[in-house]
Amino acid sequence: MRKNKKVMRVEKISFVLLAILLSFNSCNQLEQKVDDKALAETKVLVSNEIVHPLDALSQLELTTVKAILLDAEKVTEASRFPEITLKEPAKEAMYAWETGSVIEREANIVIRQDKKTFEAVVDITNKKVLDWKEISNVQPALLMEEWMQAGELWKKDERVIEALRKRGYTNLDEVAGAPLTTGYFGTESTDQRLLKVWLLDIKGVKTNLFAKPINGITPVVDVNKGKVVDVLIEETTARNDMVYDYDEASVNAHKLKPVIITSPEGDNFSFKNGKIEWDRWNFHFRMDKRFGAIISLAEFDGQSVAYQLSANEMFVPYMDSAEDWKYRSYMDIGEYGFGLLSSPLELGTDVPGNATLLNAVIPMDDGTPLLQENVIGVFERNTGRPLWRHSEFLNETHESRAEVELVVRTIPVVGNYDYVIDYVFSTKGLLKIEVGATGMDAAKAVESKTMDDPKAMHETKVGNLIAPNLIGVFHDHFLSFRLDLDVDGINNSFATDEVVPVKYPNNSRKSGWEVVEHPELKEGAIVESSEAHDGYWKVVNKNSKNSLGQYKSYQILGHSYLSVLDDEDFPQKRAAWSKEQLWVTPYDRTELYPSGKYPNQSKGEDGILKWVAQDRSINNQDIVCWYTMGFHHISLPEDWPVLPTVWHSMTLRPAKSFDRNPAIVIGK
């Protein structure tokens, strides 16, 4: 687990982003290395034996996919694969599938060759290519080798070298280049495959590679041409030369006495037939190179809750119009990949000591499999809160139960940010998604050391001072979660239980409120009605009732900040979904990408706005909800040199799906 730190201590860091990506993996590392406790469970995720139709593609299957394409003469050894992922069976087939039945496997592939993009479907079981087509005017996610290429090309450009020399940077081994996706701003051609390189002074740095940014020198690399096609230079004297490392050798951190979560009698969860079983929950889990963690077929007490849950896009725009910042409007999932960037978890810090750490396999640029070690944590935790309780004075009774949850955790690291992605299962039938943001602010050098300096008010319009000569540029984090809920069956409807104020005539009590159900019949964004003051969203099954005669449903609870960018702003066009808290669409197995399948350098013409323009019915249909989880990051000194984890969450809560408190089980 020390590989990250070891890589970051190398003096000659030529490419910071690639170092972060590769610090936890090696392309040739396919031997499983897990502790004894996790060994059996690990095989569930990395074994070549497929036990469930939704299992991630195995090492053998990835090798087979490439071999099939080579044999069909569709690709060569020079071809590259931004995406190789499982083509899921139809939902109806999945619900009908039984353990031990035949498993047919197919893969969806995106291929990059001869500067063109192709899509293919491969039948792995029968070893044949089912579909092959060229996709024009798109740019797939960036490849690791393209990041590496861009991270080196700038060093050969005399314009960059001269600009650095004028700033006093003469040793290129003390400067790192972090290539970043560029977005689209009306002029970029789809024939170009562009990266802009963020230059960083890493002299004397051990851990915080982002503390000494070099302002105003931005090499623009076209990896199609293999060269720097432009250098954006702005005159500035602002710089920071202070190192802000945060490792134990650099920071004399105050330490508390250990507080430990243990499972002295063993785990309550188990792996069976490709699923995780815990309490009355059972669900399937897999890792995907693009989406990261995917939860499927989640059931509680024998009743279906969600067919699939996953984070399908992330939008991170920065609020600085300067030339070397305005393009920073990343689509972290579509351009980079949460699965690709998932990092190893450390027992006792990243996850409790009782966690089971699991491996996963993803495809690399050349289509070969890569083992990611210890990137998934499954653990139980006692929250320290009562699950339920009541203490009664009248008859001197007290009943209380401890709350225990099951957590499935991954932590993708996207450059300077670490995102803790938790799927949390509760014994009371709740399913929560919790996201923690930590890592480091993207810092910009300024001339001001304090707010008393003459330029401070101007320089801090785009970010707060987080240290002398450094501001953390304001920015947003917006995640689009795809919630394919199937509440006790596939056909569901969507409604809001609105809290509507009422008057009580001829009564000493003047007012109150009632609940009025407001159904949504057509797809689109869910907007609160003008009459309501509050309410609860719910996915309801009008075909299934509890014993009280009430329709079964699950509520969607949570509040999030939304984008305030102009609708016509180029970054906002690519992330139109971030303007609304919730969208509902009918299920379509091809509609997986709210910003389009190819958001890299896209104009924003594909995705959720295109879908909802069809005006399809969502009444008693198989429906999908798209939840926006986001926050405006107003940078603070307390965020530096490393950001204390900031948490955001949403909850799926049973509402009339059960006849009583689901945490009370009779007869067990």
> Is 65 inside any structural domain?
no
- Residues 326 and 432 reside in one and the same domain: yes
- CA distance readout (Å), 437 to 197, 414, 474, 589: 24, 11, 15, 30
Do 295 and 152 belong together in one domain?
A: no
Name the token pair of 600: 């890299």
In terms of pTM, does the model score above 0.85?
Answer: yes
5's CB contacts (< 8 A; 6+ apart) are 207, 247
Give me the half-sphere count of Cα atoms (radius 13 Å) on the Cβ side of residue 411.
22
**Nearest in space to 654 (alpha carbons), one of 433, 490, 427, 430:** 430
| Whether 293 and 228 share a structural domain | no
Amino acid at 131: D
Name the catalytic one among 318, 417, 419, 554. 417
Examine residue 361 and state whether it is found in any structural domain, yes or no. no
Distance CA 406, CA 430 (A): 11
Of 233, 253, 273, which residue sits at a domain end?
A: 233
Is 82 within the bounds of a domain? no
Active site (annotated) includes residue 336: no
Question: What is the rounded CA–CA span in Å between residue 326 and residue 184?
Answer: 11
Could you tell me if residue 268 is inside a domain? no
State the Cα–Cα distance between residues 41 and 360, nearest whole angstrom.
Answer: 11
Within a domain: 184: yes
Nearest to 23 by CA among 31, 33, 35, 15: 15
Q: Does 449 lie in the same domain as 570?
A: yes
Q: Which among 201, 245, 288, 332 is annotated as catalytic?
A: 332
Tens-digit pLDDT profile for residues 399-451: 999 999 999 999 999 999 999 999 999 999 999 999 999 999 999 999 999 99
- CA distance linking residue 373 with residue 159, whole number of Å: 41
225 lies in the same domain as 307: no
Claim to verify: residue 460 and residue 534 sit in the same structural domain: yes
pLDDT of residue 530: 63
In total, how many domains does the chain have? 2
CATH number, domain of 146, equals 3.10.450.40
Tell me whether residue 316 is in a domain: yes
Quick one: 229 and 338 in the same domain?
Answer: no
Q: Which domain holds residue 229?
A: 3-28+142-233
Shared domain check, 314 and 201? no
Residue 471 lies in a domain: yes
CATH number where 450 lies:
2.70.98.20
Q: How far apart are CA 474 and CA 443, in angstroms?
A: 10
Same domain, 473 and 604: yes
| Alpha-carbon gap, residue 58 to 50, rounded angstroms | 8
Cα–Cα distance for residue pair 619/610, rounded to 1 Å: 20
Which of 233, 253, 276 is the C-terminal boundary of a domain? 233
* CB contact at 8 A, 620 and 426: no
Pairwise CA distance, residues 538 & 653, whole Å: 9
Residues of the chain with pLDDT under 70: 1-47, 529-533, 667-668
Burial class (CB in 10 A: 0-12, 13-18, 19+), 532: middle
Would you say residue 258 lies in a domain?
no
Q: Do residue 500 and residue 575 come from a single domain?
A: yes
Nearest to 174 by CA among 200, 208, 136, 210: 200
Rounded Cα distance between 118 and 135, Å, is 5
User: What are the φ/ψ torsions at residue 92 (nearest 5 degrees)?
Assistant: -60, -40
Statement to judge: residues 578 and 460 lie in one domain: yes
Active-site residue 504, yes or no? no
Q: Amino acid identity of 405?
A: E
| Contact (Cβ atoms closer than 8 angstroms) between residue 539 and residue 520 | no
**Burial call 25-35: b when 16+ CB within 10 Å, e when fewer:** beeeeeeeebe
Q: Is the dihedral of CA 580, 586, 591, 592 positive or negative?
A: positive
Degrees to nearest 5, angle at CA 72 with 68 and 77: 75
Quick one: 499 and 589 in the same domain? yes
Q: Which of 214, 233, 252 is where one domain is finished?
A: 233
Tokens describing residue 512:
């109150």
Longest dimension (CA), the chain: 86
Report the alpha-carbon distance of residue 581 to residue 628 in Å, rounded. 5
Nearest one of 281, 300, 286, 296 to 97, comparing CA atoms: 296
Q: What are phi and psi of 200, to 5 degrees?
A: -135, 135
